[in-house]
């Protein structure tokens, strides 16, 4: 069976999904599956120089959004999979492959 995955490497949900897929495939015969990864850029409209993470979050989720709630949900789903994210370390949102 072919499984095509469209993923952005800067997306924490994509990483969580990959880890969950790895778990499922680990319980099955891996020989029965072909994984084909496809690049997908979630935010191609970001300027080449990127933008402040706080500004990005406000533009993405609205002025009243609480990023800590968004991060808490991601961290809650990531923890049982052994994944850790340090959202406080992100100062600038960038497109992957751009400097």
Q: Tell me the domain boundaries of the chain.
A: 2-93
Query: What pLDDT shows up at residue 30?
Result: 64
Q: Measured between alpha carbons, how far apart are the two ends of the chain, in Å? A: 37
d(CA 76, CA 42): 22
In the DSSP assignment, the letter for residue 88 is G
The model's pTM is: 0.82
Residues 6+ apart with CB under 8 A from 64: none
Query: CA separation (Å) from 57 to 34, 46, 64, 81, 93?
Result: 36, 12, 10, 25, 9
pLDDT per residue over 15-67, tens digit each?
999 999 999 888 887 678 889 999 998 888 899 889 999 999 999 899 888 88
Q: Which CATH class is domain 2-93?
A: alpha beta
14: pLDDT strictly greater than 70? yes
Give the 3-state secondary structure of residue 20: helix
């Amino acid at each position: 069976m072919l499984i095509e995955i469209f993923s952005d490497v800067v997306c924490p949900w994509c990483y969580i999904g990959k880890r969950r897929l790895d778990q499922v495939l680990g319980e099955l015969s891996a020989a029965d599956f072909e994984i084909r990864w496809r690049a997908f850029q979630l935010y191609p409209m970001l300027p080449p120089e990127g933008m402040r993470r706080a500004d990005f979050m406000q533009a993405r989720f609205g002025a009243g959004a609480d990023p800590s709630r968004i991060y808490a949900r991601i961290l809650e789903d990531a923890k049982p999979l052994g994944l850790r994210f340090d959202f406080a370390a992100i100062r600038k949102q960038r497109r992957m492959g751009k400097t």
